[in-house]
Structure 1
Amino acid sequence: MIPRKPDEDGEADIDSADEALLDMLGLSSLNVADDHDDDCHPDPQKLTSSEISILVESNQLSKDYVTNSVCIFPPELSMRSEHMRKITDELVWGGEKMQADRTYETIQVYNNGAIEQRRTLTRLENFVDSHKAWKQLCHGYLRDTVSTILGRRMVLYKEKLNLKPPGGSGFAPHLDSPSLKVALKEDGPQTFVTVMVAIDDMTEQNGCLRICKGTWNEDKHVELIEPEMDGNPDAGGRAGAIEDAIAENLSFDNIVCKGGSIVAFNGWAPHRSAPNMSPFSRRAVFLTYNPESEGEFRERYYAKMDGMRNAWRFGLANHQQQLEDEMIESNALATVPK
């Protein structure tokens, strides 16, 4: 067991696995302000609806959300970081019983002074209903709290757990709403709010979330890049991308926070992140909700996205095969005497 370093009052002051390991190794900490401690506030999931309402009102979360398109939950409403790390590890290492859509990427890592290419798990989706604690959290406490902030009942639309290992890339500046509408178009919901829960401490070094605050909505948003026709629905074919020249003129705030911290932002708020330049993973879960009045579409969304992704892969494979066939034919014709 990793020892916990006492602070001036004799209490443990390590709030993440990264901090504990750094302390054990005698290295400098990640220097994230300790705005909350797991031992100084109760489990937020045990708060009553009236207690949640009081905290939302006293911290002006609804006002912040309307004015800035983003609000940061106070410590009293934030998750216990130890709990978030535990249920994340159970999900990632739970094996086949933890049903989830898993994405692997090839990233560059340093090993004994050399750069290696390594295939690494970087994202999980469609996992909430396969894990009891995640199901209770996402369909329960987080949904209830964001519903209180927005003043209307919300339901879960999709979920994504970003693992962002050391060397993992950031994500380019974009808006969520345009990409979220691609799957179901006018037949699906039109209003979205994303709730991010930090699993580990978020710092500038490990590629924290960055958001451009403002009164953003469908009628007032930054200019977007037209997605590629028949492109990858998770990359070039994804709607919502912001051109670099436009993003450079936007003011992005770094969301530097402790593990367990919660941030909610609307689907039209520009956001981005940088690569993880630290030696540890920077994990965070992003949960998207829509008003219940617009309908429940989570299962339809994932079914549609699965079909779109498979269609794109099939088209890509056919295109590659066509190029190979053309090359074989060209090489064969080159051997014919003229």
Structure 2
Amino acid sequence: MKESHALLEYISDEETMASADEALRELLGITSLDVKDDSSCGDDGELPSKESVEALGDISDDFIQQIVDTYDLKEQYKITSVCVFPPELSIPAFIMRKLTEELVWSSDSRVMDKTYETIQVLTNDKSSGESIIEERRKLTRLENFVDSQKDWDILCNNYLRRCVSAALGMPQVLYKEKLNLKPPGGSGFAPHLDNPSLRIALGDNGPKDFVTVMVAIDNMTSSNGCLRLAKGEWSEENACAVILPEENGSPDASGRAGAIPLEIAETLNFEDLECPGGTIAIFNGWLPHRSSANSSPFPRRAVFLTYNAASDGMFHAAYYERMRKLRSEWRQRVGLSQNCDSDEKAELDALSTIPRI
């Protein structure tokens, strides 16, 4: 069921100033997130350059492995199903923000899958001066863009692929990508697991296990709807029960698998993952996670990348080809046109029925 979320929560002066300060730094191209720690530097005493996407791609496997081993990330991932990479491997926030803006405003959007959401925001009526609630349709998600964007390809198929491969101790390949653009007032997502829904598209012909890589674009905080994780040694043999998807439902909404019953979610200990923009975190496909609405005045953007073991094969193209087919079949069943012009609003409203809290 679709739920509306108005940006009605009071925002303190201190929080507003912090957000405004962050926006000013972004406008000026200044970032305070470039962290250096001499204890983990290379032989020359300096960290590898991270001034551009190309420079990230040039960081050596040896350096990445050194950091992974120093912080024992593989063991952290094994015990808790999640690990947050240290600053030495983080991506400068200005790079992530630049890539995001270029993607959102890209003129080459033919292969991208886009999802919108109707956001309710509190504004002042200019004529009466009274507070009113306005509805605005906002772009909230982009998918299937890595193959058509050179810098995103370098980031996802080179640097981040090598980082997650080192942390897991086995080579990984990109399965799918999703850019979340949670605007002020944007909804959160209900508790769920990724693996059940990721298996739906290709079934027995695709991989069975996945790992998600999240890169924060903006600072992630409790107030702007950061990721919330229930850490534990999760696996297919030790996983939460999930709700079966609706038969013939939308593959992006009620037809997705992986939703956790609320009575089970209430027994889990979800922790906020608050972190600076540019932070990299990974979690396995059986880890329960959720997020809340964005009650701040600024967006909370993050990219979520799904990888599978290289030994299982490459499925990126097959996944999106299958999802296009499933979406097309669903549109036909519910009577929506294929050109997505006259029925765009109806479809977008249907896509926004993904369980949110």
Deviations 1:274-326 (A, max 9, x none): 000011110000000000110101111001111111211221127xxxxxxxx
Letter of the 1:210 partner, please give it.
R
Residue 305 of structure 1 pairs with residue 323 of structure 2:
yes
The equivalent residue for 2:121 is: 109
The equivalent residue for 1:19 is: 21
Using the TM superposition, give the Cα deviation of residue 21 of structure 1 relative to its aligned residue in structure 2, in angstroms. Answer: 3.1
Using the TM superposition, give the Cα deviation of residue 47 of structure 1 relative to its aligned residue in structure 2, in angstroms. Answer: 2.2
Contact 2:19-2:298 at 8 Å conserved across structures: no
Query: Take 2:191 and 2:22, find their aligned partners in 1: how far apart are those partners?
Result: 32
Matches within 5 A, 1:68-83: 68-83=80-95
Indicate which of 305, 317, 339 corresponds to 1:287. 305
Deviations 1:134-178 (A, max 9, x none): 100000010011011111110000000000001110011000000
Contact 1:38-1:80 at 8 Å conserved across structures: yes
The equivalent residue for 2:15 is: none
Aligned residues: 293
Gaps of 5+ in 1: 1-15, 25-33, 319-338
Using the TM superposition, give the Cα deviation of residue 37 of structure 1 relative to its aligned residue in structure 2, in angstroms. Answer: 2.6
Deviations 1:27-76 (A, max 9, x none): xxxxxxx9x73264541544211111110001111001110000000000
Contact 1:98-1:130 at 8 Å conserved across structures: no
Say which is worse superposed, 207-216 or 304-313, in terms of deviation.
Answer: 304-313
Contact 2:57-2:154 at 8 Å conserved across structures: no
Contact 2:33-2:277 at 8 Å conserved across structures: no
Gaps of 5+ in 2: 1-17, 37-46, 51-55, 125-130, 337-357
Contact 1:178-1:240 at 8 Å conserved across structures: yes
Change (3 A) 1:50 1:84: same
Query: Take 2:76 and 2:100, find their aligned partners in 1: how far apart are those partners?
Result: 29
Residue 223 of structure 1 pairs with residue 241 of structure 2:
yes
Query: Take 1:97 and 1:248, find their aligned partners in 2: how far apart are those partners?
Result: 40
Indicate which of 70, 75, 80 corresponds to 1:58. 70
Normalised to the residue count of structure 2, the TM-score between the two structures is 0.79
The equivalent residue for 1:127 is: 145
Matches within 5 A, 1:25-44: 37-38=33-34, 40=36, 42-43=49-50, 44=56
Letter of the 2:200 partner, please give it.
V
Using the TM superposition, give the Cα deviation of residue 196 of structure 1 relative to its aligned residue in structure 2, in angstroms. Answer: 0.1
The alignment's C-alpha RMSD in Å is 1.9
Using the TM superposition, give the Cα deviation of residue 233 of structure 1 relative to its aligned residue in structure 2, in angstroms. Answer: 1.2
State the structure with more CA Rg.
1
Query: Take 1:207 and 1:201, find their aligned partners in 2: how far apart are those partners?
Result: 10
Query: Take 1:183 and 1:47, find their aligned partners in 2: how far apart are those partners?
Result: 34
Query: Take 1:56 and 1:204, find their aligned partners in 2: how far apart are those partners?
Result: 27
The equivalent residue for 2:102 is: 90
Residue 317 of structure 1 pairs with residue 335 of structure 2:
yes
Change (3 A) 1:251 1:99: same
Query: Take 2:24 and 2:311, find their aligned partners in 1: how far apart are those partners?
Result: 47
